[in-house]
Amino acid sequence: MTFSGLHGEHAIMAARAGKHVITTKPMEVSLQKADEMIRECKSSGVKLAVDFDMRYDQTQRTIKKAIQEGLLGKLILGEARLKWFRSQDYYDANGGWRGTWKLDGGGSLSNQTVHFIDQLLWMMGPVESVYAEAGVYAHDIEGEDLGTVFLTFKSGARGVIVGTTTFPRNCYAGIEIHGDKGAVLTTRGSAEWIGAEGVDLVAPIPDPCPKNATEDMISALTNGTQVQVNGYEGRKSVEVLEAIRRSVETSQRVNLPL
């Protein structure tokens, strides 16, 4: 396992050796390092894929297609929510890298909730500004074990991120999105589709895609195409995480792009 704060170093080494790169989430712990990865892979002529596995999930792709087809109407609010439990032993294991700024980029937001932050950005589009509060409530770590974030998207829609590892046990994780015609919730098990009054909301059939990042990379190399979650897609959540950190440090709203 490669610690999050070493993804950039190892990816750059691989790219310079002429190897294509698949990195897990988050892409890196800083936007600077993420951009270095993108530049090096581009200059070395290799592909860079970020393994956000839910981008290949049928349910998530169905939601994405429903939004693209306007089935939810004008988007109003998107939420990424994670309420999980992690013990202190979890954070102390393997040298105690988890929950550190240098190697984990923080805590519950950067490690666990980042999957759903990526989903939210993929569904809702570019972010205009971020305001966040975060802290440590139940663990001895550097980064947060509870974070709350308020987003304004460029579309005018609003967003909320809640991520914590202080819940008594793993409870739920997912996204909730609604517009003026309907909503979809994935925080209560299987996706729940809810139409507005008088709207018969029927989930669309998603387009076929690779099953995971490895298949995606093989397909891209075989067909000379782009991977579906490339470095530019992967850096989006890194940028939001960095904006969250700045907002927490300054108690101010942070505008994007950084």
Q: How far apart are CA 167 and CA 180, in angstroms?
A: 32
Write the pLDDT tens digit of every residue in 176-187.
999 999 999 999
Q: Which residues 6+ apart lie within 8 Å of 12 measured at CB?
A: 36, 37, 40
Q: What is the mean pLDDT of the chain?
A: 97
Q: Could you identify the residue written with the tokens 């991520």?
A: 163
What's residue 2's pLDDT? 87
Domains of the chain and any CATH numbers: 4-52+210-230 (3.40.50.720), 57-206+236-255 (3.30.360.10)
Write the pLDDT tens digit of every residue in 117-138.
999 999 999 999 999 999 999 9
Q: Which residues 6+ apart lie within 8 Å of 139 measured at CB?
A: 86, 88, 91, 99, 107, 145, 165, 166
Portion of the chain with pLDDT greater than 70, in percent: 100
Q: How confident is the model over 49-78, as a mean pLDDT? A: 97
Q: Phi and psi (nearest 5°) for 132?
A: -140, 155
Using pLDDT thresholds of 50, 70 and 90, give the confidence band for residue 81. Answer: very high
Q: How confident is the model over 54-80, as a mean pLDDT? A: 97
Fill in the DSSP letter of residue 230: B
Q: Answer for the pair 134, 166: CB distance below 8 angstroms, yes or no.
A: no
Give the pair of three-digit tokens for residue 218: 């093989």
